[in-house]
Chains A and B, each alone.
Chain A
Amino acid sequence: MAEITGSGPAGGVGNVRADYLALVRRRRIYSGLLLVVFVLLFVGGFRIVEDRNAGGLLNGLPQILDYPAGLLSEAWARRDRLPGHIATHFRALLETVNIALVSTLLGSLAGTVLALFSTRGLAPWPRLIPLFRRLSDLFRAVPEIVIALVLIFVLGGGPVPAMIAIAIHTAGAQGKLFSEVNENADLRPVEGLASVGAAWSQRMWLGIFPQVLPNYFSYGLLRLEVNVRASAILGFVGAGGIGYELRNAMTWGPGRFDEAASVFLLLFVTIVVVDQISSSTRAHLTGGRRP
């Protein structure tokens, strides 16, 4: 900067032009190199995977539809039995949705606390922020299925281990997302409340929650969608719910495909319904805050 301001007004524009064009050239070289590296990595990675695969992607592609085709054709042939199957599996579906609801609620509450403790400017003990951050990293990093398997080993099969496993993962995920929401919150109301002598919990309740709750709720609904899927999958390892039924139906293989199809149908409809409800509610929540 110094040489530009130092030179006379006549030479000034010329210098600025030359310097800026040099800067532009440098940036273009960098982004060009980056693009080349990206393409090389992508092509190289694909070829390595292709070499190590037993079948190979291109050979496997035609077979990708074999299982769904078998499932659909068999289910269609015995479509009269579908309503009966759906009625039998409905209880299991309720269990799955219940696991998702309870774990989302508990996990989000724990995530709220984790988030407040790990947000700069809001945490009551700023020195412990890294600790709470790593804690929510840990909760988030361990897959639900691992926690569930350990808990099933300890507590036995059933919905409770699944619920605890998903809640722990949810707490970690929400702790991260909520603390990002908190970072965008306006700190002026908190300062205003601090100036009248409010306690930390009062400052959070009155100064932060009104700002962040719509976003929390929106992330909570998003998590509910994710958790419905997660609790269905946990059924596969013996945690009850519709996943358990699906595993049984699928391991029977051909001959019981109509039952598997009915479970798939139930799961699909549930996920669509939860998705629709949550996206319309979230649109309403975020749309309502337009200035």
Chain B
Amino acid sequence: MLLSVENVTRVFGTNRAVDNVSFALDRPVFLGIIGRSGAGKSTLLRMINRLTDASAGRILFEGTDVLALKGAAARAWQSQCAMIFQQFNLVPRLDVVSNVLHGTLNRRSTLATVFSLWPRADIHRAIDILERLGIAEQAPKRAEALSGGQQQRVAIARALMQDPKVILADEPIASLDPMNAQVVMDTLRRIHDEDGRTVIANLHTLDTARRYCDRVIGMRAGRIVFDGTPEQLTTGVARDIYGADASFSEHATSTAIEDLPDRAAAYA
């Protein structure tokens, strides 16, 4: 088993943000997690990355319980398990290449970091990754000078610099316009297809989940209420996940660029 989440729970005060969640991946897949705001999607990803501690349960990656790791071992796991955030979480005042090089921080000493002594090979690799994502010409610019879509691709480059086994993406396209959203999702899918890395993405649009994911998990109030293929994700199931009534239509707020009739035909 590659990754196995077993009875993971996280309690904030009296609120069970993630409630007894279990699922397993036996090979690298592109997994989408959907659900309304506050369903516990972000908390789940943050627990896998160890940004948030779990209240109970185990998360096994290749047989190791990552929730039990401490100190340097926990940070070594974090370097294996890259995270991409909704708001990109780059260092705005540093240039793009430095931001990408931050992916290697787990292997660098603090002293070398303070004096920005990055190995030449790493600098070359960072620029190669930027080239692969189509933003090499932005290399010397400050991260804050880039558009949202470009910043998110820098964040993906930082994740790739970590050479991770798992990439967690927490609402990677929620702050982007439809064009950039498609570029970012295509990039994530390509990384999965070409490198064979596991991608787990929290998504808030159903059409994105259907188009890009191999498997979709639906969460509601901290629990998993759906776990299946994108084909099984019918409008009825979606209403269940979001706790919506019959008036709910995903086309009403869809961000897809095609016009409605085409889409209606595609999903009929």
Pairwise interchain contact B137-A5, C-beta atoms closer than 8 A? yes
Alpha-carbon distance between A28 and B123 when the two chains are bound, in angstroms: 14
| Residue among B115, B117, B136 making CB contact with A13, cutoff 8 Å | B136
Report if A180 contacts B (CB, 8 A): no
Q: What number of B residues sit within 8 Å (CB to CB) of A? A: 16
Contacts of A1 in B (CB 8 A): 137
Pairwise interchain contact B140-A13, C-beta atoms closer than 8 A? no
Report if B250 contacts A (CB, 8 A): no
Pairwise interchain contact A13-B116, C-beta atoms closer than 8 A? no
Pairwise interchain contact A16-B136, C-beta atoms closer than 8 A? yes
Tell me the chain A residues, 7-42 only, with Cβ under 8 Å from chain B: 12-13, 16-17, 19-21, 23-24, 27-28, 31
Pairwise interchain contact B115-A16, C-beta atoms closer than 8 A? no
Contacts of B131 in A (CB 8 A): 12-13, 16
Pairwise interchain contact A23-B136, C-beta atoms closer than 8 A? no
Report if A141 contacts B (CB, 8 A): no
- Least CB separation from A7: chain B residue: B137
Interface membership of chain A positions 167-195, coded 1 if the CB is closer than 8 angstroms to chain B and 0 otherwise = 00000000000000000000000000000
Report if A4 contacts B (CB, 8 A): yes
- A23-B140 CB under 8 A given contacts A13-B128, A13-B131: yes
| Residue among A5, A20, A27 making CB contact with B127, cutoff 8 Å | A20
Alpha-carbon distance between A21 and B118 when the two chains are bound, in angstroms: 11
| Residue among A12, A17, A20, A28 making CB contact with B116, cutoff 8 Å | A28
Pairwise interchain contact A24-B137, C-beta atoms closer than 8 A? no
Tell me the chain A residues, 103-130 only, with Cβ under 8 Å from chain B: none
Contacts of B251 in A (CB 8 A): none
Interface membership of chain B positions 118-133, coded 1 if the CB is closer than 8 angstroms to chain A and 0 otherwise = 1010011001101100
Report if B97 contacts A (CB, 8 A): yes
Contacts of A4 in B (CB 8 A): 137
Q: Give 9 closest A-B pairs by Cβ, nearest first.
A: A16-B136, A13-B131, A16-B139, A4-B137, A20-B139, A17-B127, A16-B127, A5-B137, A20-B97
Alpha-carbon distance between A28 and B116 when the two chains are bound, in angstroms: 8
Alpha-carbon distance between A13 and B97 when the two chains are bound, in angstroms: 13
Pairwise interchain contact B139-A27, C-beta atoms closer than 8 A? no
Give me 6 A-to-B residue pairs in the complex whose CB atoms sit less than 8 angstroms apart, sorted by A's number.
Answer: A4-B137, A12-B131, A13-B136, A21-B120, A23-B140, A24-B116
Q: Report the minimum CB–CB distance from A1 to chain B (whole Å).
A: 7
Pairwise interchain contact A21-B137, C-beta atoms closer than 8 A? no
Q: Report the minimum CB–CB distance from A115 to chain B (whole Å).
A: 26
Contacts of B117 in A (CB 8 A): 28
Q: Report the minimum CB–CB distance from B87 to chain A (whole Å).
A: 12
- Least CB separation from A32: chain B residue: B115
Alpha-carbon distance between A27 and B98 when the two chains are bound, in angstroms: 12
Q: Report the minimum CB–CB distance from B124 to chain A (whole Å).
A: 6
Interface membership of chain A positions 135-154, coded 1 if the CB is closer than 8 angstroms to chain B and 0 otherwise = 00000000000000000000
Contacts of A13 in B (CB 8 A): 127-128, 131, 136
Alpha-carbon distance between A177 and B116 when the two chains are bound, in angstroms: 32
Pairwise interchain contact A19-B140, C-beta atoms closer than 8 A? yes
Q: Report the minimum CB–CB distance from A243 to chain B (whole Å).
A: 43
Contacts of B120 in A (CB 8 A): 21
Q: Report the minimum CB–CB distance from A76 to chain B (whole Å).
A: 45
Pairwise interchain contact B140-A20, C-beta atoms closer than 8 A? yes
Pairwise interchain contact A12-B137, C-beta atoms closer than 8 A? yes
- A17-B137 CB under 8 A given contacts A12-B131, A27-B116: no
- Least CB separation from B117: chain A residue: A28
Interface membership of chain B positions 86-119, coded 1 if the CB is closer than 8 angstroms to chain A and 0 otherwise = 0000000000010000000000000000011110
Q: Report the minimum CB–CB distance from B142 to chain A (whole Å).
A: 12
Pairwise interchain contact A31-B123, C-beta atoms closer than 8 A? no
Q: Report the minimum CB–CB distance from B196 to chain A (whole Å).
A: 24
Pairwise interchain contact B140-A12, C-beta atoms closer than 8 A? no
Tell me the chain A residues, 47-74 only, with Cβ under 8 Å from chain B: none
Alpha-carbon distance between A4 and B117 when the two chains are bound, in angstroms: 25
Alpha-carbon distance between A28 and B140 when the two chains are bound, in angstroms: 15
Interface membership of chain B positions 129-153, coded 1 if the CB is closer than 8 angstroms to chain A and 0 otherwise = 0110000110110000000000000
Residue from A13, A21, A23, A31 having most chain B Cβ neighbours under 10 A: A13
- A17-B140 CB under 8 A given contacts A27-B116, A28-B116, A31-B115: no
Q: Report the minimum CB–CB distance from A50 to chain B (whole Å).
A: 30
Known: A1-B137, A12-B131. 19 other contacts (CB 8 A): A5-B137, A12-B136, A12-B137, A13-B128, A13-B131, A16-B130, A16-B139, A20-B97, A20-B123, A20-B127, A20-B140, A21-B120, A23-B140, A24-B116, A24-B123, A27-B116, A28-B115, A28-B116, A31-B116
- Least CB separation from A24: chain B residue: B123
- Least CB separation from B120: chain A residue: A21
Contacts of A20 in B (CB 8 A): 97, 123, 127, 139-140
